[in-house]
Structure 1
Amino acid sequence: MNNQSFRFFSFEGKTRILHLSWMAFFITFLVWFNHAPLMAAIREEFGLSDSEVNTLLLLNVALTIPARILIGMLVDALGPRKVYSIVLVVSGVICLGFAFAETFEQLAISRFLLGFVGAGFVVGIRLISEWYPAREVGFAEGIYGGWGNFGAAFAGLSLPTLALFFGGEHGWRCAVGTTGVIAIAYAAVFYAMARDTPKGSTYFKPKKSGAMEVTSKGDFFLYMAVNLPLSIALALIVWKLGPSNLGMLSNTVTYGLYGVVFLMLAFQLLRIWQVNGHIFSKPVPEFDRYPFKQVALLNLTYMAAFGSELAVVSMLPLYFLDTFDISPVLAGMLGGSFALMNLIGRPGGGYVADRIGRKLTTLITLSGIAAGYLLMSQINSDWPLPLAVLLVLFCSVFVQAGCGAVYASVPLVKRRLTGQVAGMAGAYGNVGGVVFLLVLSLVSPSMFFVVLGCFAVGILALVSMFMDEPSPQTSEVMPDGSVRMIEVS
């Protein structure tokens, strides 16, 4: 591990890895959310109904749920350099497909496939944890997450203007296509310049692949239970698209997809048993154990923070447009302001977590999230627009800081499983996005914000009762069989 002091204005060693990583993440989020600020133009060109718009919003986060789990496993096994480069190339190609879509069905398929790009975030979490010591990892992960997540805000701030620059009814296509080209080009830069670990460091890999390792019988059953919401979220998407709701799928296709979701769940539960069944006959040595409840609580916290952000960022431009008498360009820019606070919120949350503790920081941020959303539920057309924007920014600071606090804790759970822990927490963020967007399609925007606030209150209670600070040390088994103790606080 590189133990030089934290230097942000540098492009050497661990700082180079940080800059390469947040830029990769920035580009993935620019691609992932390039549709949101341009949705008014897309809606007009294709004559989309409200149901079809909601369908695109749901599809945009659907694939990210299983993708983050898969990418978490791949990055632990193959290393971040290769995996991030693959994510960038694949997402760039799919993005070009969305830009050239001619029918709603093509829009829907390409938007669904673009959910894959949202899994790129997981890669950088493992990469940065390899380069930064525990006393700095929260701040570094916060910079990575915050500056990278700003890609969503940058999309809102820049793409409407870029579409106007290209001009014509297809200006939005050129703007979207530009982001895809950028992703493909940057993949080559990242592959050429990034390295998985500092020179001489060991890249710890899971003992088995296909499922996360757990270290006690209780954790085995908790891990199985934690997998259920991932499948339920996918089933909810199928239900929402089915004949009883949006009517985008036939009965045959709907039931076929239900079967696929069930088979995916059954296969995952089988892999959990294959990887961890030995704990029922041979207990894991005490030095190699970790509390899986920490993973479960981080999942739920990230669902309250990033899951709500996904939903809010997706709906906020149209919400401002429909609530206030403003132009589509201004609505896109104001909608993007929610993600704008990533620049300071995530690094701030990580930095504070490094200094005052992970649990206390998580409690503070969840309290702010709850208060912010409950206040946002009171916004209406009679409010002064500047006051509404200030409230959105206030709420966003705590949302982003909560994300920073989560990923200040993720690398300290178990080093060799960092990618998988990050992937599962990230997947729960997308579960939140799906669930909250589904709620949005059923209730008014004001009630939607009430639901977000009440959910944060519930997670706040669970964290206060069950979350622990990380142990002062964790251990990993070296390739030669020796045990290495790693300081985490």
Structure 2
Amino acid sequence: MADNLTPLQHLNIFKTRGVQMRTFHITWLTFFFCFFGWFGVAPLMPLIREQLHLSKDQIGNIIIASVSATIVARLIIGKLCDTLGPRLSYTILLAVGSIPVMCIGLANSYESFLIFRFVIGIIGASFVITQFHTSMMFAPKIVGTANAVTGGWGNLGGGVTNLVMPLIAAGFAGLGFVSQADSWRLAMVVPGVILLIMAFVYYKYTKDTPAGNFKDIERTAGVSKKGTFLIALKDYRTWVLALAYAACFGIEITVDNVAATYFTDKFGASMIMAGAMAGIFGGMNIFARALGGYVSDKVGESYGLRGKGLLLGGLLLLEGIGISLFAQSQTLGMAILAMLLFALFLKMANGSTYGIVPFINKDAIGTVSGIVGAGGNLGAMLVGFLFKSESLSYADAFHYIGIGVAVIGLLVFVTRFRNPQTTAHEVPHVKLQQV
């Protein structure tokens, strides 16, 4: 019975019994569907661009808007996780986020579409809750792997979205509900409804911790302390990890946003075919992010937090090289091969980053997670300016991104991720006492 009230020591993905594993599966599945709401319009942009007469500069602004609100939302959600709890935080976020997703089809101009796209960005804060909640459910020796699996399987939604949303739009048009030009409008109602359903599921079937919900327990450490935000801000390692996440997840959501358009414009692919090829990139999440978290845990067992940091730096360096190769690819086959290469290292770096996050500050896991997560979206917002530039092609933008990622990888590589008071095996969970 005691095992049911404590973090799990092992991860068995085929197990569903117990609050820990039930929460594990609901969490990654919810995060998966969040991508349908967050990036559902991305593979439909060729249709939207034509109907709303969008310029390259305007599309660039839309890309930036899609990740901008997430920056602030992740900071707020990280703090809410430490105080309100992940269960209520996720429920509120899903319910509120579903509204602009369902309503974006009402946009009839660049300005209105831009506003909807900006507000939808708050859904991206779901990642912080996913990582925080998983950290509550699993023990230190396995938390990196568990975080990577939930994050990776959730991120898989970004790839599946690229494949599925064009099919949903085509289905509505084929059934005669709307014209092909307006099919994207009705298609976006689907992920909005799914988010509402997941809000109910999350509230009904998860708990904040193995011991119960925050409102039912006395928190004797971590979340009961004040000033955790400032404590996290003062630790330079938090900022290095934020930069690292900007260089991996920030690039991932950028690719989710532009890949379909890139394949359409450069290689002449159809909307469905371009979405399928972009889906390959997201599909790597089915194993690559989990692999990064697993390797990070194994390296941590032998070399501690310092070893985890060296691993992350190396993965980012390889990712940067892969992105530059992708930018220089002149044939579709070479582009796909290069994309698979850098996708592997990018997604492993995602998992490796959050294999380190829970060890930075035992009193502010949610806050650190929020700051690092916000760093990912800040990176996506900044590189978005490259894709809106009239003087740069998308290939040029990817080339500069590759160089930047490699530089950040070198910075992470020389950063000393060490804490003299705790080792990589001693990340504390919030101590809880039943009342």
- Is the 8 Å Cα contact of residues 212 and 417 (structure 1) preserved in structure 2? no
Shift of 1:209: 5.2
Alignment match, 2:241? 298
Range 194-203 or range 21-30, more displaced: 194-203
User: What secondary structure is seen at the aligned counterpart in 1 of 2:169?
Assistant: helix
2:264 is aligned, of 311, 315, 321, to: 321
Alignment match, 1:343? 286
1:7 is aligned, of 12, 15, 19, to: 12
- Is the 8 Å Cα contact of residues 27 and 148 (structure 1) preserved in structure 2? yes
- Is the 8 Å Cα contact of residues 31 and 154 (structure 2) preserved in structure 1? yes
- Is the 8 Å Cα contact of residues 291 and 348 (structure 2) preserved in structure 1? yes
Distance in 2 between residues matched to 1:328 and 1:352, nearest whole Å: 37
1:238-276 CA distance string (max 9 Å, x none): xxxxxxxxxxxxxxxxxxxxxxxxxxxxxxxxxxxxxxx
Shift of 1:63: 0.7
Change beyond 3 A, Cα 1:108–1:404: same
Shift of 1:477: 8.9
- Is the 8 Å Cα contact of residues 76 and 416 (structure 1) preserved in structure 2? no
User: What secondary structure is seen at the aligned counterpart in 2 of 1:63?
Assistant: helix
Work out whether 1:193 is the aligned partner of 2:205. Answer: yes
Alignment match, 2:3? none
- Is the 8 Å Cα contact of residues 305 and 400 (structure 1) preserved in structure 2? yes
Distance in 1 between residues matched to 2:84 and 2:191, nearest whole Å: 27
Change beyond 3 A, Cα 1:406–1:446: same
Shift of 1:101: 2.0
Alignment match, 2:303? none
1:293-332 CA distance string (max 9 Å, x none): 2212111110110111122221111111111132111012
Work out whether 1:396 is the aligned partner of 2:402. Answer: no
1:150-192 CA distance string (max 9 Å, x none): 1111110101011100002322112111000000111001100
The code of the aligned residue for 2:311 comes to T
Alignment of 1:215-294 (within 5 A): 223=233, 292-294=235-237
Alignment match, 1:463? 412
- Is the 8 Å Cα contact of residues 318 and 406 (structure 2) preserved in structure 1? no
User: What secondary structure is seen at the aligned counterpart in 1 of 2:363?
Assistant: helix
Distance in 2 between residues matched to 1:477 and 1:48, nearest whole Å: 49
Tell me how many residue pairs correspond in the alignment.
402
Distance in 2 between residues matched to 1:416 and 1:334, nearest whole Å: 42
Alignment match, 1:375? 325
Shift of 1:107: 1.1
Alignment match, 1:213? 231
Structure 2 runs not aligned, ≥5 long: 1-5, 174-178, 301-307
1:19-57 CA distance string (max 9 Å, x none): 011011111111100111000111122222222222211
1:405-459 CA distance string (max 9 Å, x none): 0011111122331111111111111111011110222222222122222112222
Change beyond 3 A, Cα 1:210–1:63: farther
The code of the aligned residue for 1:96 comes to M
Distance in 2 between residues matched to 1:108 and 1:460, nearest whole Å: 33
Alignment match, 1:484? none
Change beyond 3 A, Cα 1:406–1:103: same
Change beyond 3 A, Cα 1:111–1:312: same
- Is the 8 Å Cα contact of residues 151 and 351 (structure 2) preserved in structure 1? yes
1:387-407 CA distance string (max 9 Å, x none): 321211111111111010001
Shift of 1:134: 1.0
The code of the aligned residue for 2:226 comes to K
1:221-245 CA distance string (max 9 Å, x none): xx37xxxxxxxxxxxxxxxxxxxxx
Distance in 1 between residues matched to 2:432 and 2:297, nearest whole Å: 30
The code of the aligned residue for 2:183 comes to G
1:196-233 CA distance string (max 9 Å, x none): 1112786531522583325xxxxxxxx37xxxxxxxxx
The code of the aligned residue for 1:329 comes to I
2:370 is aligned, of 408, 423, 430, to: 423
Alignment match, 1:171? 183
Distance in 2 between residues matched to 1:23 and 1:173, nearest whole Å: 24
Alignment match, 2:27? 21
- Is the 8 Å Cα contact of residues 212 and 420 (structure 1) preserved in structure 2? no
Distance in 1 between residues matched to 2:327 and 2:429, nearest whole Å: 47
Alignment match, 1:363? 313
Shift of 1:3: 3.2
Distance in 2 between residues matched to 1:311 and 1:340, nearest whole Å: 15
Distance in 1 between residues matched to 2:200 and 2:141, nearest whole Å: 32
Alignment of 1:122-161 (within 5 A): 122-161=128-167
The code of the aligned residue for 1:372 comes to G
1:407 is aligned, of 341, 344, 354, to: 354
Distance in 1 between residues matched to 2:8 and 2:194, nearest whole Å: 33
2:42 is aligned, of 33, 36, 53, to: 36
Q: Which has the higher contact order (CA 8 A, sep 6+)?
A: 2
Change beyond 3 A, Cα 1:346–1:477: closer
Change beyond 3 A, Cα 1:189–1:476: closer
Distance in 2 between residues matched to 1:377 and 1:446, nearest whole Å: 5
1:96-123 CA distance string (max 9 Å, x none): 1112223322211111111111111101
Range 453-462 or range 401-410, more displaced: 453-462
- Is the 8 Å Cα contact of residues 373 and 449 (structure 1) preserved in structure 2? yes
The code of the aligned residue for 2:276 comes to M
The code of the aligned residue for 1:327 comes to S
- Is the 8 Å Cα contact of residues 142 and 408 (structure 1) preserved in structure 2? yes
User: What secondary structure is seen at the aligned counterpart in 2 of 1:467?
Assistant: coil
- Is the 8 Å Cα contact of residues 238 and 372 (structure 2) preserved in structure 1? yes
With normalisation by structure 1, the TM-score equals 0.78
